[in-house]
């Protein structure tokens, strides 16, 4: 029988493939695409997903070793700087690995512990983990649409 950690980790990793698979076929030009008058580019959204995953590793799961400057959260808008394909892919891979590493350390009891953040109040770690799953898949859907139908805008 699997532990809660194993089950939740499998769930997250499977859901995250909606995002990870998009990264495989990206071009540098795709990073600049936006949809209509949308303020966010593909590059911004990828960086944002990485920022939030790192914030979860640090603030929700308590990994004090995580160093994050969540530029997309701080700026709250696309600054146009997310155009280096290899750099943005490496950032997304790093955020995956750092969040995965701290999640793997959770015991079954840890998932029931309450954490409080200003963004979503008091939640169990399991409930909070649901937020990162939905956050990533929500933005992955946006990325897929922008990649397919968006245009490069500066």
Give the closest residue to 45 by CA, choosing from 72, 9, 20: 72
Block residue for tokens 């955020």: 95
- How is domain 4-152 classified at the architecture level of CATH? Up-down Bundle (1.20)
Average pLDDT over residues 129-142: 95
CB-CB contact of 41 with 78 (8 Å): yes
Instruction: State pLDDT tens for residues 10-48.
Output: 999 999 999 999 999 999 999 999 998 888 999 999 999
Longest dimension (CA), the chain: 52
């Amino acid at each position: 029988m699997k532990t809660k950690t194993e089950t939740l980790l499998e769930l997250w990793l499977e859901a995250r493939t909606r995002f990870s698979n998009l990264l495989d076929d990206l071009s540098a030009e795709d990073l600049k695409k936006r949809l209509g008058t949308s303020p966010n580019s593909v590059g911004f959204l990828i960086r944002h997903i990485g920022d939030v995953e790192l914030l979860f590793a640090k603030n929700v799961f308590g990994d004090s070793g995580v160093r994050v400057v969540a530029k997309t959260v701080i700026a709250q808008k696309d600054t146009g700087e997310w155009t280096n394909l290899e750099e943005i892919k490496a950032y997304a891979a790093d955020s995956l690995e750092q969040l995965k590493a701290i999640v793997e350390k959770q015991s079954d009891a840890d998932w029931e512990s309450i954490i409080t953040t200003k963004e979503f109040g008091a939640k169990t770690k399991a409930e909070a983990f649901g937020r990162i799953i939905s956050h990533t898949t929500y933005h992955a859907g946006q990325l897929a649409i922008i990649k397919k139908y968006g245009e490069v805008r500066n």
